Amino acid sequence: KPILGLFTPGEHGSTFGGNPLAAAVARASLKVIREEKLAERSKQLGEYFLEQLSEIPSPHVKEVRGRGLLIGVELKPSAGGARRFCVALQEKGVLAKETHDNVIRFAPPLVIEKETIDWALPLIRDVLNMK
């Protein structure tokens, strides 16, 4: 009983805490991640994507780094920032986000197929070599 009276109404709150629906969704999500081996796929496809991006010759790229499918392409200061590259990628149908002004962040879904990465690579290559 002393524990139950520790918090009084209005003292503590949580948007999603203790929500049975949110807990069920989380459990189902974890089950899908395990059954579809999404972590393993992320590692495998991420290594492939990272390797392919690293091989793109570009005067703008300082470094390509990442883990799994979360990959950052750091641009040299002379590139003029990542925003214009992300806009150009969007115009070609590839979504990426600029971070820290000079990094293009790729974060594709865990269910991405290798064929989709292969489709995007020439488009990324074109954008990384624009003036």
pLDDT < 70 positions in the chain: 1-2, 12-18
Q: At what angle do helices 83-91 and 114-128 cross, to 10 degrees?
A: 130
Question: For residue 100, which phi and psi values (nearest 5 degrees)?
Answer: 50, 35
**Distance (Å, whole) CA 81 – CA 74:** 9
pLDDT at site 16 = 59
Largest CA distance in the chain: 70
pLDDT tens digits, residue range 94-104?
999 999 999 99
| Tokens found for residue 119 | 């489709």
